[in-house]
Amino acid sequence: MSVNLLGLDSEQLSAFVEALGEKPFRARQLKRWVHRFGESEFSRMSDLAAPLRDKLAQAASVVPPQIVGSRVATDGTRKWLLHVGNGSRS
């Protein structure tokens, strides 16, 4: 089963990377790629070692929540209803 990295906090991401047999700094690199650059394709994460990219492709994914509803308030504020898994919506 693939782990969605967007569902992990920093501590959980570090534990996940450690479970893959990688050093802790790899979690910081991965977090930068996912959260700062918005990258979801491990093959494009050029400063990660190729074996790590292969491990990630097998064990992980980067999937944002699905927008299931959208509404614009009278003041122009946009509100989204997100499907966050397990039948839950936020």
- Tens-digit pLDDT profile for residues 14-24: 999 999 999 99
- Domains of the chain (ranges; CATH) run 3-61 (1.10.150.530)
In sequence order, the 6+-apart residues with CB closer than 8 A to the CB of 69 are 80, 81
Q: Is the pLDDT of residue 47 over 70?
A: yes
Q: Looking at residues 55-72, what average pLDDT do you find? A: 93
Contact by Cβ (8 Å): 16, 8: yes
pLDDT at 58: 96
What CA–CA distance (Å, rounded) separates 33 from 40?
8
Tokens coding 79: 């509100």
As beta bridge partners, residue 67 has: 82
- Identify the residue whose tokens are 């479970």: 19
pLDDT of residue 75: 95
Output the pLDDT for position 65.
86
